[in-house]
Each structure stands twice: as structure tokens, then as C-alpha cells.
């Protein structure tokens, strides 16, 4: 089977650079181009010695190099324009950018369906993080109190993180009833975090951190902590690779990596 041809959108960013430096190692994937507003030049050399074009114009890249999939780790404001360009040319997408509104996500779903294009949108491509969210949903049915602490580097642009928001929402959906609330609820203490679906989320932003999350459950005489730590951004490679190979088989929007891992039963 021929490798899936891929263009990286947001290639000058931190995750984009990790993708350029690692995806070429896998025979199932062939990187045919890189796109970012900040271009280092017209070409970039990958670790295997191959040279690919680097452009600030996504539409031109698609027309000239005909990828099967665009992998997007750019900025929230850049995602919907990129989706419009890709779906108009029937190019599938894997999107790891977070911070889009519900209206923007609905528009992405509409564009994918109307153009018969597959799009996988996930807030986290680290398989351990996806499992952490899955286990948190399981625990939510049996533990009445829960809070989330998410810790990221100080240059992250959104808070709470998309992973934390999706964790809280998934926990409530699987639990099927509201979480019990601590006695201080309603008193307006700013230090108690942002409450999402009954779960307080606390966001830490510090240099030296990557991406970390704790889901802490409480009950009479016990607590349960589920934690995931990202050591470096290479943790995203297996999840992105899986999504690239899967999205070319799909039509429409798929939200969450769990839906291609067989964990969607919860």
C-alpha cells in the first residue's frame, strides 16, 4: 500500500517541528510539504535527507503537491480557514489545535460532511492522555466529588486546556447525574477554579512544564488520583500516526481519539 501523503500545517510551531522531525521515520507516511506563516525558506530538509517545500500558502501547497491529509497544529483562528481550503479540495484533515468555539466546530462538521471529507479533531493525541480521560469517566460513576488540575507551559494560549474541558464534560456525561459540590460552592472564591459541568478546573502555567493533568476524586475516607504526564512532544506521534492512517477511511467529523481507539462505548 502506498504511503499516505501528508502536509503539516503549523509546521514552524513546537508540535509542527516535532512532526517534521519524526513522521518521516514511518513508512506508512510521506511528508510532501510544510505550511506556516513563519517560513524558514522555500524548502526544508528532513532527517532522512529528503527535501520538501515550505510555504505560507496552504491552498497553493495543496494544488501543487496533492496530499491525502493535512495535519493541523496551528492556531485556533487559522483552523476554520484551513478546513475550508482542505475540504474544497477533498483533502482529509487531522486537527490537534484547540480553542475553537462550538459554532466553529459545527461549521467544521458541516464542511466535512458536505464535501465528503474525513476530519479527526482531538484535544490531545497522547495515547496516555486519552486513556486517562477514559479511566476518569469510569471513576466518575462511582465517586461523588471531583476536581481537575491541569498544568502546562507558560506560553499555552488557552485555559482551561481542551483536554481538561473534555475530561470534565465526559465525566458528567458518563456519570449521568451532577457531581456533589463542596461547601464553598457559590461563595465566589476566585482561587477555586473554573467550574465546568460541576467539576472545578485549576490551570497552572509555568516554564519548565509540558502538559500534565490530574483528575482527583473524593469520597468518604478515600481519594483517587488519575494522572498523566507528558515528558516531551514525541508522545503525540503514535496518536497522530494512527489518526492519519484512519482519517482517509472516514467521511465527516470525528471528535476525540477515543473514537478511533474503540473506547467510544462510554
Query: Is 152 annotated in the active site?
Result: yes
Q: Pick the catalytic residue: 9, 137, 152, 228?
A: 152
Which among 29, 30, 72 has a CA at the least distance from the CA of 50? 30
Q: Per the residue annotation, which of 30, 65, 156, 212 is the catalytic one? A: 156
* Contacts by residues 156-161 (CB-CB < 8 Å, ≥ 24 positions apart): 156/205, 157/75, 157/76, 157/99, 158/76, 158/98, 158/99, 159/203, 159/205, 160/194, 160/196, 160/201, 160/203, 161/98, 161/123, 161/203, 161/211, 161/213
**Full strand arrangement of the beta sheet holding 118-121:** 43-45, 51-55, 29-35, 4-9, 69-72, 92-95, 118-121, 252-255
Q: Which residues belong to the active site? A: 152, 156
Amino acid at each position: 500500500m502506498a504511503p499516505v501523503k501528508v502536509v503539516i500545517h503549523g509546521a514552524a510551531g513546537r508540535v509542527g517541528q516535532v512532526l517534521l522531525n519524526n513522521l518521516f521515520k514511518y513508512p506508512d507516511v510521506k511528508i510532501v510539504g510544510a505550511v506556516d506563516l513563519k517560513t524558514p525558506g522555500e524548502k526544508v530538509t528532513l532527517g532522512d535527507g529528503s527535501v520538501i517545500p515550505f510555504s505560507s500558502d496552504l491552498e497553493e501547497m495543496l494544488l501543487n503537491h496533492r496530499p491525502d491529509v493535512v495535519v493541523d497544529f496551528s492556531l485556533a483562528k487559522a483552523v476554520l480557514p484551513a478546513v475550508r481550503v482542505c475540504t474544497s479540495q477533498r483533502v482529509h484533515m487531522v486537527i490537534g489545535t484547540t480553542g475553537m468555539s462550538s459554532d466553529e466546530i459545527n461549521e467544521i462538521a458541516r464542511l466535512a460532511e458536505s464535501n465528503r471529507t474525513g476530519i479527526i479533531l482531538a484535544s490531545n493525541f497522547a495515547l496516555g492522555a486519552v486513556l486517562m480521560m477514559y479511566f476518569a469517566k469510569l471513576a466518575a460513576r462511582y465517586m461523588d466529588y471531583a476536581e481537575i488540575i491541569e498544568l502546562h507551559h507558560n506560553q499555552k494560549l488557552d485555559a482551561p486546556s481542551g483536554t481538561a474541558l473534555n475530561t470534565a464534560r465526559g465525566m458528567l456525561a458518563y456519570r449521568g447525574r451532577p457531581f456533589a459540590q463542596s461547601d464553598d460552592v457559590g461563595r465566589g472564591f476566585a482561587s477555586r477554579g473554573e467550574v465546568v459541568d460541576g467539576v472545578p478546573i485549576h490551570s497552572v502555567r509555568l516554564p519548565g512544564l509540558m502538559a500534565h493533568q490530574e483528575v482527583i476524586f473524593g469520597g468518604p475516607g478515600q481519594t483517587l488520583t488519575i494522572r498523566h504526564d507528558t515528558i516531551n512532544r514525541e508522545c503525540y506521534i503514535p496518536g497522530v500516526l494512527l489518526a492519519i492512517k484512519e482519517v482517509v477511511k472516514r467521511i465527516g467529523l470525528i471528535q476525540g481519539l477515543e473514537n478511533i481507539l474503540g473506547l467510544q462505548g462510554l
